Structure 1
Amino acid sequence: MSFTKIFAGLFLAAIILPASAEEAFKVCADPLNPPYSTKNKDGFENKIAELFAKELGQKIEYTWFAQRLGFIRNTLTASVSDLAVDSDEFKCDIVMGVPAGYDLTLTTVPYYKSTYVLLVAKGRGWDDIKDASQLTQLPLQRQESLKIAMFDRGPGTAWLQKNGLLDQGISYQSMSGDSENNTAMQIEKDLKAKKIDMVILWGPMAAYVTAQSPKNSYVMIPMKSTPAIKFDFAMAMGVRNGDKTRKVVLDKLIVAKADKIKEIIASYNIPLLPITKEVVRDDD
Structure 2
Amino acid sequence: MNDPTQRCSHHPLGRVVSAAAFAALLITSQWVTAPLAGAWEMRVCADPDYMPQSNRAEEGYENRIAEILADELGAELTYQWWTLAPSMVSEQLREGNCDMMIGVPDGGDGVLATIAYYRSPYAFVYRADEGYDIATFDDEILTELQLGTTSEGTSAHLALARRGLLDRITVSSEFAGTNAGARFSALIESVARGDIDVAVPWGPVAGYYAGLQDPPLTVTPVPEFDIPFTPMYHSIVIALRLGDEELRDLLDQAIARRWDDIYAVLAEYNVPTLPLPRPSLSIAEQPQ
- TM-score (norm. length: structure 2): 0.75
Aligned partner letter, 2:91: N
Q: Percent identity between the aligned chains?
A: 26
Report 1 or 2 for greater relative contact order, CA contacts < 8 Å, sequence distance ≥ 6. Answer: 1
| Distance (whole Å) between structure 1 residues aligned to residue 36 and residue 244 of structure 2 | 13
| Distance (whole Å) between structure 1 residues aligned to residue 264 and residue 172 of structure 2 | 32
Change over 3 Å in CA distance of 1:269–1:172 after alignment to 2: closer
1:26 to 43, 61, 71: 43
| Distance (whole Å) between structure 1 residues aligned to residue 72 and residue 196 of structure 2 | 44
CA RMSD of aligned residues (A): 2.8
Q: Which residue of 2 aligns with 1:47?
A: 64
Change over 3 Å in CA distance of 1:256–1:277 after alignment to 2: closer
Q: Which residue of 1 aligns with 2:80?
A: 63
How big is the shift at 1:186? 3.1
How big is the shift at 1:74? 2.8
Q: For each residue in 1:79-138, what CA deviation from the matched residue of structure 2 results, as whole angstroms up to 9, or x when unmatched?
A: xxxxxxxxxxx2111111111232132100000111001111233xx4223323463x24
Aligned partner letter, 2:103: G
Q: Which secondary structure does the structure 2 equivalent of 1:245 belong to?
A: helix
Aligned partner letter, 2:199: V
| Distance (whole Å) between structure 1 residues aligned to residue 182 and residue 84 of structure 2 | 9
| Distance (whole Å) between structure 2 residues aligned to residue 75 and residue 182 of structure 1 | 24
| Distance (whole Å) between structure 1 residues aligned to residue 124 and residue 180 of structure 2 | 25
For the Cα contact (< 8 Å) 2:114–2:239, is it kept in 1? yes
- Who wins on radius of gyration, i.e. which is larger? 2
Q: For each residue in 1:196-222, what CA deviation from the matched residue of structure 2 results, as whole angstroms up to 9, or x when unmatched?
A: 2221111111112112214x6111111
Q: Which residue of 2 aligns with 1:261?
A: 262
For the Cα contact (< 8 Å) 1:132–1:221, is it kept in 2? no
| Distance (whole Å) between structure 2 residues aligned to residue 238 and residue 227 of structure 1 | 29
Is 1:120 matched up with 2:121?
no
| Distance (whole Å) between structure 2 residues aligned to residue 167 and residue 75 of structure 1 | 38
Q: How do 1:202-213 and structure 2 match up within 5 A?
A: 202-213=202-213
Q: Which secondary structure does the structure 1 equivalent of 2:234 belong to?
A: strand
| Distance (whole Å) between structure 2 residues aligned to residue 180 and residue 94 of structure 1 | 21
Q: Which residue of 1 aligns with 2:221?
A: 222
How big is the shift at 1:245? 0.9
Q: Which residue of 1 aligns with 2:196?
A: 196
Q: Which residue of 1 aligns with 2:147?
A: 148
Change over 3 Å in CA distance of 1:133–1:96 after alignment to 2: closer
Q: Which secondary structure does the structure 2 equivalent of 1:61 belong to?
A: strand
For the Cα contact (< 8 Å) 1:204–1:271, is it kept in 2? yes
Unaligned runs of 5+ in 1: 1-15, 79-89, 279-284
Unaligned runs of 5+ in 2: 1-32, 280-288
Aligned partner letter, 1:103: D
Number of residue equivalences: 244
User: Does 244-253 or 267-276 show the bigger shift?
Assistant: 267-276
Aligned partner letter, 2:114: T
Change over 3 Å in CA distance of 1:181–1:131 after alignment to 2: closer
- TM-score (norm. length: structure 1): 0.76
For the Cα contact (< 8 Å) 1:152–1:172, is it kept in 2? no
Q: For each residue in 1:159-190, what CA deviation from the matched residue of structure 2 results, as whole angstroms up to 9, or x when unmatched?
A: 1122222221123449x993484442231343
Aligned partner letter, 2:164: G
1:109 to 107, 115, 127: 115
For the Cα contact (< 8 Å) 1:187–1:209, is it kept in 2? no
Change over 3 Å in CA distance of 1:252–1:61 after alignment to 2: same
